[in-house]
Chain A
Amino acid sequence: MTEDKIEKIINMYQNKQGILIQLLLDIQRELNWVPYKAIKNISEKLKIPISQIYRIASFYTGISLNPRGRHLVRVCAGTACYVRGGTRILDSMENKLKIKSGETTNDKAFSLETVNCLGCCALGPVIEIDGQYFGKLNTEKIEKLLKNYN
């Protein structure tokens, strides 16, 4: 099933120039991460060396080479959030989920990441869970928020 999806995405980019980043992002959108077999498949189909694909995938923070949990929690680390206590939000997320930023919980329920800026600076501190944004947070609200996910 996964292989079919990857195959389909790669086929969309056949014979096109400068597509590697877009292709990796599309695979990630589908699978939530970019597995090795996808990279191998791209390399064979599009005749691009594996090393080159890895170089791109590891350079951009938006592309994950590790499997992520069912829910992706992204804490904004932008300046406006930082000034309004964003680091405290990250600390408390780390405490609640018992993982560090960049890690996934053992039950694969949550992955925690930081992001440079979510662009909701007026409402800091902000976090994003599975693409949904939550603003004007504090440690109390986080506790309630996490209860909605499992």
Chain B
Amino acid sequence: MEKLNSPSDLEKLREDIILRKDPKRLAVAVCVSTGCEALGVQKVLETFNEEIKKQGLEGKVDIKETGCLGFCEKGPRIVIYPEEIYYFQVKAKDVPEIVSKTLINNEIIERLLYLDPNTGKKSRFLSEVPFYKNQNRLLLESNSKLDPKKIEDYLAIGGYGALEKTLFSMTPEKILEEIKVSKLRGRGGGGFPTYIKWKSSRDAIGDPKYVIVNCDEGDPGAFMNRAVMEGNPHSILEGLMIGAYAIGSNEGFIYVRQEYPLAVENMENAIHQAEELGLLGENILRSGFNFKVTIHRGAGAFISGESSALMTALEGKVGEPKPKYVHTSEKGVWDKPSTLNNVETWANIPLIIGKGAKWFASIGTEGSKGTKIFALAGKVNNTGLVEVPFGISLRDIIYKIGGGILDGKKFKGVQTGGPSGGVIPEQHIDSPVDFDELKKLGSMMGSGGLIVMDEDTCMVELARYFVNFLSDESCGKCTPCREGLKQALIILKGITSGKGKGEDITQLNKIAEVTSVASLCALGLTSANPLLTTLRYFKNEYEAHINEKRCPALFCKALISYYIDPKKCQACTICYRNCPVEAINGEPMKIHVINQSKCIKCGNCFDMCPSRFKAVKKISGDPVPPQISEDKRLIKRVRKENRQ
């Protein structure tokens, strides 16, 4: 493609692209994000290509490979244009039928439509699917409209229009003013006002200045950044360039964790395409603005997501944080003024510039504007990426969008904010979700992970999991975090393995108090949150572990036993055959028993016992009933033919 030399060149190209698109043309959009890949979408894609050839549609149908469409639980999801037919959970074996019926005869295959489990109705339109109906997908909606590998698709939906507007009709001051009015806050965790960050970098003395995209997304349980970078990389680039122009920077970095190879690939490709068109590089659209950008792959360290640590990693060093009295907006990468924002923050910028700050500020709550993408996961029916306006209640997210708790179990709590956040219990489930409200409950927004837990999740073990994670990832530079977490972990391991002592809870509270005031960076300062919230809301579980040596959720291995109920066992030998340590004694027609001293409590027998028998039980706090005598183990089964 030829280099664009002016705003009118860009508009001309955009018009051409739109004109060339035939709105009536058949197209199949298939989600090829990492999530759907895990569900085998590659096979679906291959079959589409084969079947289209086989059934004589070659050249008549476009196959569009899109980014994440959000509803991962029901993936792979496909959309057929121009009729906009949405099919869910498509398998390779469905494809021949889709081609022959839907593509050729415009016939809808009922079985592939979304089935609402509550009403039993099939949804012909996306607006009828509860998962989507209750969202406001400002950022994610674009994913379904474009192939992230094609800049033309992004241009067709107005892409780079906001950049053009800023370069030719806005001063940097005007942009800063817009961001201020929009009240945009950083989406990476802390919720720091974006305007203040940008302004202090702009005002800081130092040259060059840098802008940085943080796609380290180390929070386990969060993948919204991955979805945006894989599905719409140009929106991030455009936002980054607008930010660079506003603060007076000509160079940027995109930090992506190496666990996201597809995000790296799509971003590399996007940079290359933007350079070819002259939307990136020297004298962009002849505006006089230059910008270059480099991708930096993270090498797997949670702490590198912290802004000052990330900047040290960019310098090729060990990613350790710096004390907070040094502001990275003034002294960041190589001690130069640096503005770092999360992927989602950058992706919001073109929207704010394009549609206006006032429009943006009309969405959300007083203190938190716009929408937020959450990764809804855990024990909930509809898992996936959810984009909602700030202010929506946790209940609405979990029940209206998420469709309630998996397998009809009881809701226990929802974990927000990753390892730096906390668990919010049922009594606070009607709280509105925004930066300040979550903080009041002892948790935080974090990058937007929402992990739903049911009655089977042990809260003490969950605290152990997070403290273990944080202790592993603590860089060790400051003592409270390094040593405090280590001690807390020893205590928690003791409690979950049945060695809890009376003073443990007081001790844990003391450690939490120290780490949360004396640590160097956010990792340490917030590390007490998982501990404090579980202690605050689920103290009874700690007490049961310590005093009664009982795990109420029947999860902690050291505190539970597996037992086969002789009244229910039908001697089917399934558990016997699947026990990895041969701890089960049994044969056909003989009730099975578990040898408790051999059992490693892997839970295979519990999972595999047929649901019509449900003979394997978990016991905690009570002794295992004594083994029944040998003669009682024989089952006398009446043969069917004899029964009549």
Q: Which residues on A are within 8 Å of B, measured CB to CB?
A: 17-22, 24-25, 55-56, 59-63, 77-84, 88, 91-92, 95, 115-124, 126, 131-136, 138-140
Contacts and interface: CB of A to CB of B under 8 A. Distances in A.
A116 B302 contact: yes
B377 A121 contact: yes
B385 A84 contact: no
Counting from the closest, the 9 A-B pairs by CB-CB distance are A62-B300, A78-B220, A122-B72, A60-B299, A18-B316, A80-B377, A135-B38, A122-B383, A133-B38
Contacts, number: 165
Interface in B253-308: 258-261, 296-302
Contacts of B418: 79
A24 B299 contact: yes
15 contacts: A22-B297, A25-B258, A25-B299, A60-B319, A78-B221, A83-B451, A83-B453, A92-B580, A95-B602, A117-B223, A122-B35, A122-B223, A122-B376, A123-B38, A123-B383
Given A17-B316, A56-B317, A62-B299, 15 more contacts: A17-B334, A25-B258, A62-B258, A62-B298, A79-B465, A80-B451, A84-B378, A119-B222, A119-B260, A120-B223, A121-B222, A121-B451, A122-B385, A123-B38, A126-B38
A71 to B, nearest CB: 17
Contacts of B221: 78-80, 117, 121
A123 B299 contact: no
Contacts of B35: 120, 122-123, 133, 135
A98 to B, nearest CB: 11
B301 A59 contact: yes
B379 interface: yes
B602 A88 contact: yes
Interface residues of B, number: 62
Contacts of A140: 608
Nearest to B580: A95
B39 interface: yes
A116 B217 contact: no
A21 B602 contact: no
B34 A119 contact: yes
Contact of B259 (A118, A121, A122): A118
Given A88-B603, A91-B602, A121-B375, A79 B451 contact: yes
B383 A56 contact: no
A9 to B, nearest CB: 14
Contacts of B261: 131
Contacts of A81: 220
Contacts of A62: 258-259, 298-301
Contacts of A60: 299-301, 319
B415 interface: yes
Interface centre among B72, B314, B418, B466 (most CB of A within 10 A): B72
A104 B260 CA distance: 24
B299 A122 contact: no
A91 B600 CA distance: 10
A42 B473 CA distance: 27
Interface in B575-610: 580, 602-604, 607-608
B370 interface: no
Contacts of A55: 318
Contacts of B465: 79, 82
Nearest to A115: B259
A59 B334 CA distance: 21
A139 to B, nearest CB: 6
A21 B301 CA distance: 12
Given A117-B219, A135-B38, A79 B316 contact: no
Contacts of A92: 580, 602, 604
Interface centre among A21, A63, A132, A135 (most CB of B within 10 A): A21
B29 interface: no
A12 B457 CA distance: 50
B604 A18 contact: no
A81 to B, nearest CB: 8
A82 B379 CA distance: 11
A61 B257 CA distance: 12
Given A80-B220, A117-B220, A139-B607, A63 B385 contact: no
Contacts of A17: 315-316, 334
A116 B313 contact: no
Nearest to A139: B604
Nearest to B227: A119
B379 A84 contact: yes
B73 interface: yes
A107 to B, nearest CB: 20
B218 interface: yes
Contact of A119 (B217, B297, B299, B415): B217
Contacts of A63: 299-300
A122 B384 contact: yes
Contacts of B298: 21, 62
Contacts of B217: 117, 119
Contacts of B602: 88, 91-92, 95
Given A131-B261, A139-B604, A123 B39 contact: yes
Contacts of A24: 299
Given A62-B298, A83-B378, A121 B316 contact: no
Contacts of A83: 377-379, 451-453, 457
Nearest to A60: B299
A84 B376 CA distance: 13
A88 B456 CA distance: 14
A146 B75 CA distance: 23
Interface in B48-80: 72-73, 75
Contact of A121 (B302, B314, B383, B607): B383
